[in-house]
A and B are shown apart, each in its own frame.
Chain A
Amino acid sequence: MEVHAHEVIVVGGGLAGTRALDELALRGVDVGWISKIYPIRSHSGEAQGGINAALGNHPQGHDDSPDRHAYDTAKGGDFLGDQDAIQIMTYQAPKTVREMEHWGVPFSRFPDGSIAQRPFGGAGFPRTCYGADRTGHFLLHACYQKYLTMRDRVHLYDEFYAIGLIIEDKVCHGLIAFNLRNGDLEAFISHAVIFATGGSGRIYGRTTNSYSSTALGVSMPYWAGVPIKDMEFVQFHPTALIGKHILMTEGARGEGAYLLNNDGERFMKRYAPNSMEIAPRDIVARAIETEIREGRGINHEKYVYLDVRHLGKQKIDERLPGIKSICQDFLGIDPVYEPIPIRPAQHYTMGGIDCDATTKTEVEGFYACGECSCVSVHGANRLGGNSLLETLVFGEIAGRNAALAVQGKGKPKDHSLVREALKKKEKELQELYNRGGSENPYKIRDELHDIMDHKVQIFRNKEDLEEALKGIRELEKRFHNIRSISKSRVYNYDKTWTLEIKANLDLAEIITLGALVREESRGGHARTDFPKRDDEKWLKHTIARYTEEGPELSYKPVTITKWQPEERKY
């Protein structure tokens, strides 16, 4: 049994986690960095379109300001976002983007040599800074490269699955991780743990998220008693390539792409006459889904066209080379000459671990940032280009706050609490992996996907949600009867996937329950039986806590600073 001691432990190799490292290393803190995949493989690298900051570089963006950015973000989130946190994020944005540029991100450029910006959904000004359509990749690699300069203070444990938090009396003491290389459970003790584990998209079958974007990062703290927030708000990206559901960047529409239905009509004019294709994602996704439902999908099938042909080969090669090669690789079509068949797919988890703008949670020494957290800046619907920004801004804040909290404490000493937790976890896993039942866990996962894709999707209603909840609870029961898992010691992915499926089931239940109870339509949560937003009753965050009997819901007020809720028109 191995016990590793570090002053701070960061979990997650994506942008938020990597950004936090710099703040910690800068202050001389000894860091243990845990990631279930090698950091550069993280889902942050899949982000394409860009990162928002009111730099005012765009010729039409001279009047842009952090306040305008904050207003757009609050309105885009249907006023469920906490406006104090939103303002912190948007005021930090220009500094953050420039800092990334100084770290080496190869942003695209305007003729005057400044960082290029493009229009994005729901933004009053073109403020999305981009590096072609590979912005996430560039940011992630620059942050990883920065990590390479501080390896003396940051110890990387890659291919370690964090599987359980050690929390006693609302104080976090560390965590237990599963070492893929040898199959051992190892304990990590620290004064602070920063969670930056990313989104939970793989609860859905039709998702743009990578295989690694699972619910475990949110379920783990949930099981350990940390409340989670607003899970029913799930973003569906309007334009995911059919078949593989791979993201086709919003940047395409930012550059001027059309959405066309079977009649060749730019149907967005009926849904958002002013913004057309660059309305916020929830609105565009609902528009596409409505077209499909009403039989105007291409050839009456379940997709519409994203058409970039009129942009011309040169512009596509220069600004959208990534989606061009994805289309060629996976569908064998060239978007220069053919329209891209797309359909909305799950894309982002607005909800997550409940924390505030300091990234602190209810549990002392436990911080959360990035997509796994819910600060909440995105409210009920995230604007494109704000997620990369959130990871960096709040990653930095988490790193700084954790560093300040642990300064001078030195490495924690080994104590009995950890050994006890380790033993308990070992027993728990033994049980999970040796149930010897008849159910194939992957079959259960497929059925979960089916339920989520059809019943907890863009348009929701009471009947569907009730059925879904029943179905999920049924699956949870069946999960108790799963077959025995492979005994292999080295790189046993069967074990990790089984655990992920368990986590997905639990979080799916919370999403569905939250959606069922919230009897209104707000942002990404659209109830056909309650089509109006109801500020009187529902302008509040949903909080879910773990109990033996299932999630327990409560509510929390929303912080409003400058902008009173108004009707969203685009």
Chain B
Amino acid sequence: MAQIGENVVLKILRYDPDLDKEPHYETYEVPVAKGLTVLECLYYILENYDGSLAFRSSCRAAVCGSCGMKINGKFGLACRTLVENLKGTHITVEPLANLPLVKDLVVDLADFYKKYTVVEPYLIPKEIPEGKEFYQSPDDRKNLDGLVECILCGACYAACTMTAWDKKFPGPFAMLAADGKLRDTRDSLGDERLVDLTDEHGIWRCHDEFNCMEACPKHLSPTGAIHHLKRESVKYRFTSPKRKELVDEKPKQLPAVIPEALTARRSFMKSVFWGGAGIVGAGLLFLFSPLFSRQIRGWESGWITVGKAPDVQAGKPFEITYEQRKWERGKLVSYPKRAYLVKDESGKLSAISPTCTHLGCICYWDESIRMFLCPCHGGAFDKAGNVTLGPPPAPLARLEVKIEAGTLYLRGEVA
């Protein structure tokens, strides 16, 4: 960290289309003052060293979204990045990625703005009440929190690997805006908004890398919004009046080859959701094939005590949670897990693991359409765990169940 009174060294990507064939880096020294921001450093350079340095800025209060750029490898706002919060005395400043470079730190945002309009981010209101506002309950308004604060700074767009890979993917910010309007009770389009988002360049492209969340200077969650859109669009397939054609239509598959880089990235999935989906996936590998898992040192096997046996109605899956224990660095660690108890017509009790057989996301039971839905890629399963829609290659796994003296036990056995 650069101390007050010392100089901080900025290494800035420079490129002038009239002079340079290739972008290059130049370094500048800026004296550190209390509360100095990277944006102020850029102004210092423009005013004292080189007037040709190009960068956008306006509000300097993290509200206008002009100064999105890459600082020490992370996308964010230059005005919001305090020099004193950065490690070391060297700062690397580069323009936003995934957008054509125009000059220095200025990128061409035309595509970015165009993609915003693609999702029709404006309200298409229901019948406007004469001389009154729409009435919207505080709870309905609360649903919009986290969806309407986006400042369109482009940090998520630059951080998203999918925007890099698929030029037609609208990007996290656009999805966030789309979800904001979908959830707005005043909007008349409703589920129709989903139709255009579910093509092969739409929401299913998102692979939950959470890069957008990490980059967002307003702490918003485009990933969360995309998850909501995914859930709603799967539901829509079952509830829409056009249901038959939608379901009969062969579900659009992802391309057969997923780039190596993307599959590799999955293993780095951040443990923001559900305490780490990767660990859950690994845990279920154990549940799938106990014979195999028993050979792995440290895995606990055998019956797991869940607790008091609940009263399960026939035909209505009942959610239970239990603790999966595991040896880790010589310690026994517990992980919370979920399963669904299912009673068939004959009264036989079994348990279904909600881990999607496609890529290991956790499905949930949606009572409105009576199906298990996967939030990631639109997989759907009926109450017995058989695939009804989407990419999952196999039915949901089954667990062995026993009840002894009113206590429920589970064991990982594939049915």
- Residues of chain A lying within 8 A (CB to CB) of residue B123: 102-104, 142, 145
Among residues 69 to 109 in chain A, which have CB atoms less than 8 Å away from a CB atom of chain B?
Answer: 97-98, 101-104, 106-109
Task: Given the known inter-chain contacts A41-B64, A145-B121, A146-B122, please indicate yes or no for A106 contacting B141, CB distance below 8 A.
Answer: yes
The segment from B126-134, B291-299, B370-378 that touches chain A is: B126-134
Does B136 have its Cβ within 8 Å of any Cβ on chain A?
yes
Does A560 have its Cβ within 8 Å of any Cβ on chain B?
no
Among residues 288 to 333 in chain A, which have CB atoms less than 8 Å away from a CB atom of chain B?
Answer: 322, 325-326, 329-331
Q: Once the chains are docked, how many angstroms separate the CA of A440 from the CA of B109?
A: 32
Q: Once the chains are docked, how many angstroms separate the CA of A497 from the CA of B57?
A: 12
CB distance from A18 to the nearest CB of B (A): 13
- Residues of chain B lying within 8 A (CB to CB) of residue A109: 136-138, 140-141
Interface size of B in residues (CB-CB distance below 8 Å): 61
Q: Can you list 9 A-B contacts (CB < 8 A)?
A: A102-B134, A107-B133, A108-B141, A113-B135, A148-B116, A148-B121, A330-B61, A487-B52, A488-B103
Q: Beyond the given A40-B64, A113-B136, please list 7 additional residue pairs across the A-B interface where CB-CB is below 8 A.
A: A41-B66, A102-B123, A102-B128, A104-B186, A181-B102, A210-B59, A490-B17
Q: Which single member of B52, B55, B82, B151 contacts A488 (CB below 8 Å)?
A: B52
Q: A-contacting residues of B (Cβ < 8 Å)?
A: 16-18, 34-35, 46-48, 50-66, 80, 82, 102-104, 106, 109, 113, 116-117, 121-123, 125, 128, 131-138, 140-141, 144, 148-149, 151-152, 181, 184, 186-187, 218-219
- Residues of chain B lying within 8 A (CB to CB) of residue A108: 138, 141
Task: Given the known inter-chain contacts A41-B58, A108-B141, A243-B34, please indicate yes or no for A488 contacting B66, CB distance below 8 A.
Answer: no
Does A567 have its Cβ within 8 Å of any Cβ on chain B?
no
Q: Once the chains are docked, how many angstroms separate the CA of A246 from the CA of B48?
A: 25
Does A486 have its Cβ within 8 Å of any Cβ on chain B?
yes
- Residues of chain B lying within 8 A (CB to CB) of residue A181: 102
CB distance from B322 to the nearest CB of A (A): 33
Does A247 have its Cβ within 8 Å of any Cβ on chain B?
yes
Does A37 have its Cβ within 8 Å of any Cβ on chain B?
yes
- Residues of chain B lying within 8 A (CB to CB) of residue A106: 141, 144, 148, 184
> A101, B133: Cβ atoms under 8 Å?
yes
Q: Once the chains are docked, how many angstroms separate the CA of A161 from the CA of B333?
A: 62
Q: B-contacting residues of A (Cβ < 8 Å)?
A: 37-38, 40-43, 45-46, 55, 97-98, 101-104, 106-115, 131, 134, 137-138, 141-142, 145-146, 148-149, 151, 181, 210-212, 243-244, 246-247, 322, 325-326, 329-331, 440, 442, 485-494, 497
> A102, B133: Cβ atoms under 8 Å?
yes
Cβ-closest chain B residue relative to A103 = B123
Q: Once the chains are docked, how many angstroms separate the CA of A435 from the CA of B128?
A: 59
Q: Once the chains are docked, how many angstroms separate the CA of A113 from the CA of B139?
A: 9
Task: Given the known inter-chain contacts A329-B80, A330-B82, please indicate yes or no for A114 contacting B135, CB distance below 8 A.
Answer: yes
- Residues of chain B lying within 8 A (CB to CB) of residue A102: 123, 125, 128, 133-134, 186
Cβ-closest chain B residue relative to A104 = B123
> B102, A491: Cβ atoms under 8 Å?
yes
Task: Given the known inter-chain contacts A98-B131, A104-B184, please indicate yes or no for A210 contacting B106, CB distance below 8 A.
Answer: no
> A37, B148: Cβ atoms under 8 Å?
no
